[in-house]
Structure 1
Amino acid sequence: MSKPASGRLVSLDALRGFDMFWIMSGEHIIHALAKATGWQIFIWMSEQLHHTVWNGITFYDMIFPLFLFISGISMPYSVQKRMQLAGVTAAFELPRGEKNRLYLSMLRRTLILLILGMIVNGLLAFKGYHNTRFASVLGRIGLAWFFAGLIYLNNDVRRQVLWLLLLLFGYWAMMAFIPVPGYGAGVLTMDGSLESYIDRLLLPGKLHDGVHDPEGILSTIPAIGTALMGILTGTFLRWEGFSMSKKALSLFLSGIILIAIGLLWDHFFPINKRLWTSSFVVYVGGWSLLLLSFFYWIIDVAGFRRWAFPFIIIGTNSILIYMCAEGLANFGYTADYIFGGMIRQVALVWQPVLIAVSVTSVQLIFLYLLYRNKLFLKI
């Protein structure tokens, strides 16, 4: 645990917290409300809080890439002090010694995320090599962030954009034209895609879906693109050529353009979260920019921050609450101990709603205590 650095972009913490809220417990509240009320708005929201089976997209499919996008945005801010001390204006201009120290720090963070990801997958309850899943959400965040960081630290903005295009079009070309034994080229099914074939060939241990892993090897390539889009966005936000209002508008307009491009690309390379297709990267990148533009304008430009405080305390300890929500802590037991007696007095149909709300309340109290005491899990 450590104290957070000063000068944080508050809207970024809030957006990260908004993103993590749905995984942490928000989805359970919506699912319970949909069953209790039967209202179409909650039914629609509940449907959006499930992953698509294959092609297509829901809001829930965007939670993971949004978090990775936000991780990318943070990088230009995290190296800002090093750049000031070195007297340079761009990260690629940092002295070699300073870069080497950054590489080691980034590698350490990546290795920690890889290990934590395997722990979330159940590594500590080891049941043998072949029953261990090595790929993970946290592992993908670590790897994609690391390689995007290498690109950022060694290239100017123009070359970063070229790298982004190479990653996205290169992945599309591989998936479209490299044949898979027994299936041929351009087959984008769970068992017939090149991404799934590479996982079966090279990924050790257990695959998430038997023949395919959504955090597999090849699809890490476009995921690097997601992180790199975040880095480019963070660089833009630090740029002093625009006012904050113009930056918010630029983020919004760029988001609309990327959504349109993603929908167009969908006709040739379907939007698919499990394959992390290039159209998925562009489409979700557009929505990420739209969400960021709203949070940035409302919180950092207009100065309305109080409403976002619950999201801020989630966002400043996002990795910790993610690991807790994935089974490393039982907030339900504590919530039942505190609120269970009262909840069991209400109508049966409303009890799941109140149970979900009580769990969220306990989580927020836990996060608030950490926030108030300036305790943050920093990796």
Structure 2
Amino acid sequence: MKQVLSTQRLFSLDALRGFDMFWIMGAEEIFHKLAEITNTPVWEGACNQFTHPDWHGFALYDLIFPLFLFLAGVATPYSVGRQLEKGKDKQGLLFKVIKRGLILVLLGVIYNNGLVIKPIAEIRFASVLGRIGIAYMFANIIYIYFKDRGQVIWFVSLLLGYWFLLMFGSAPGYPMGDLSMQGNIVSYLDTLLVPGKLYLGIHDPEGLVSAIPAIGTALLGIYAGNMLKNTTADKQKATVVKMLAIGVSLVILAQIWNIFLPINKNLWTSSFVLQCGGISMVLMATFYYIIDVLGYQKWAFFFKVIGVNSILIYLSGHFIDWEFTTNALFAWLGQLIGEPYNAVVMVICFLAVKWVFLYFMYKKKVFLKV
């Protein structure tokens, strides 16, 4: 009898989430500092990959947000899916999913604006956590009420529908299909639909309308999660190969689509969904193969400690002054190293302080969950 690994929590899922959050914690500053110090093409090239393009285009730094959303989707079959298998009422699960999504939206508003009372016109309602909450919520609703085929149909429909919206719409006074920040239909609709202020005045990268294709990012993660959850012990390598093939194919399709619809994180274009989804699929397959199939887990523990408390470390800057703490503990080390490389060393110390905090929380089994 074949053993299905559906009850096993994936070590690789937490590790990859931690790897993703590692860069949000500030690791990209290592490359920025080295580029400033050395002025060499190698480090400047690496620095550029950890800087968002102004509008169209793609850098590895653009992957961080959609990868996190993709991984939230991967977790769905192991959380919501397990509850469905136990016979839990769909309406009850629907309530929990909506509740979690709305809590994330609320946390995003607090993250942007703090707990200070402001006029609505000065509040930024759109946020990273809000985008995750909305995309997670709708993707999970689709998961609850639709089987695999229905989920694929939803994925394709969302991406094509969003493409048509961009191609056949525009802001007043601009030609149809205008994709500039001033002229695209998505930014214009956000100015009408989203209360308060937008991040860039006329545009918000986490706006409401561009959450539509982000649902597709989460659905792609759910698709990967379904594959992994339903993999039998003797089919693990086959699943890895399939995921790698799908991931590479999605990246190729993204490059083709990019000719007609530019890859753009600010608009979360459909081609951007395929680009990031393909890379995310490859990363998930790689981490799964190394960690869960081959069993090499020790090296990934560093990232798992981050991954199991991802929301905590994201929000922590609002109640912990990490820079002050780092300087209080390691200013002497920076002085000992001296310029110019003390800047790099202090970034590493900054990351170490955060990780030790997360390790302490991990040992105490304290996890912030929504």
Is residue 77 from structure 1 mapped to residue 68 from structure 2 by the alignment? no
Residues of 2 paired with 1:112 and 1:41: CA distance?
42
Correspondence for 2:263? 271
Residues of 1 paired with 2:246 and 2:74: CA distance?
15
Which residue identity is paired with 2:97? Answer: M
Correspondence for 1:333? 324
Correspondence for 2:287? 295
**Which 5+ residue runs of structure 2 have no aligned equivalent?**
1-6
- 1:146-185 equivalences in 2 (<5 Å): 146-185=137-176
Residues of 1 paired with 2:170 and 2:37: CA distance?
49
Residues of 2 paired with 1:231 and 1:65: CA distance?
13
Correspondence for 1:258? 250
Specify whether residues 38 and 307 from structure 1 end up closer, same or farther in structure 2 by C-alpha distance, changes over 3 A only: farther
Contact 1:20 1:318 in 2 (8 A): yes
Contact 1:190 1:212 in 2 (8 A): yes
Residues of 1 paired with 2:150 and 2:239: CA distance?
22
Which residue identity is paired with 2:158? Answer: L
Correspondence for 1:7? 8
- 2:337 is paired with a residue whose SS is coil
Residues of 2 paired with 1:117 and 1:200: CA distance?
19
Identity rate, percent: 45
Is residue 244 from structure 1 mapped to residue 236 from structure 2 by the alignment? yes
- 1:15 is paired with a residue whose SS is helix
Count of residues in Structure 1 that have an aligned counterpart in Structure 2: 363
Correspondence for 1:231? 222
Which residue identity is paired with 2:201? Answer: G
Is residue 354 from structure 1 mapped to residue 345 from structure 2 by the alignment? yes
Correspondence for 2:92? 101
Decide which moves more: 14-23 or 175-184: 175-184
Q: Deviations over 1:170-206 (max 9, x none)?
A: 0001111134321132000101100011011111001
Correspondence for 1:306? 298
TM-score (normalised: structure 1): 0.93
Q: Deviations over 1:334-358 (max 9, x none)?
A: 1111111221122221121111111
Decide which moves more: 277-286 or 118-127: 118-127
- 1:344 is paired with a residue whose SS is helix
Correspondence for 2:37? 36
Correspondence for 1:317? 309
Which residue identity is paired with 2:10? Answer: L
Q: Deviations over 1:40-89 (max 9, x none)?
A: 33322211111110000001111000000000110000024323322xxx
Correspondence for 1:372? 363
Which residue identity is paired with 1:12? Answer: L
- 2:26 is paired with a residue whose SS is helix
CA RMSD in angstroms, aligned pairs only:
1.4
Contact 1:29 1:356 in 2 (8 A): yes
Which residue identity is paired with 1:338? Answer: L
Correspondence for 1:90? none
Shift of 1:39: 4.1
- 1:176-215 equivalences in 2 (<5 Å): 176-215=167-206
Residues of 1 paired with 2:333 and 2:57: CA distance?
42
Which residue identity is paired with 2:213? Answer: P
Which residue identity is paired with 1:110? Answer: G
Residues of 1 paired with 2:187 and 2:82: CA distance?
42
Correspondence for 1:132? 123
Q: Deviations over 1:24-49 (max 9, x none)?
A: 12111221222233443332221111
Which residue identity is paired with 2:357? Answer: F
Q: Deviations over 1:348-377 (max 9, x none)?
A: 211211111111110010000011111111
Contact 1:120 1:328 in 2 (8 A): no
Residues of 1 paired with 2:319 and 2:102: CA distance?
19
Shift of 1:127: 3.5
Contact 1:36 1:353 in 2 (8 A): no
Residues of 2 paired with 1:313 and 1:13: CA distance?
8
Residues of 2 paired with 1:340 and 1:190: CA distance?
43
Q: Deviations over 1:143-170 (max 9, x none)?
A: 0010011111111111111111100000
Residues of 1 paired with 2:322 and 2:332: CA distance?
16
Which residue identity is paired with 1:229? Answer: L
Q: Deviations over 1:210-238 (max 9, x none)?
A: 10111112111100000011111101111
Contact 1:199 1:216 in 2 (8 A): yes
Correspondence for 1:89? none
**Which 5+ residue runs of structure 1 have no aligned equivalent?**
1-5, 87-93
Correspondence for 1:46? 47
Contact 1:123 1:132 in 2 (8 A): no
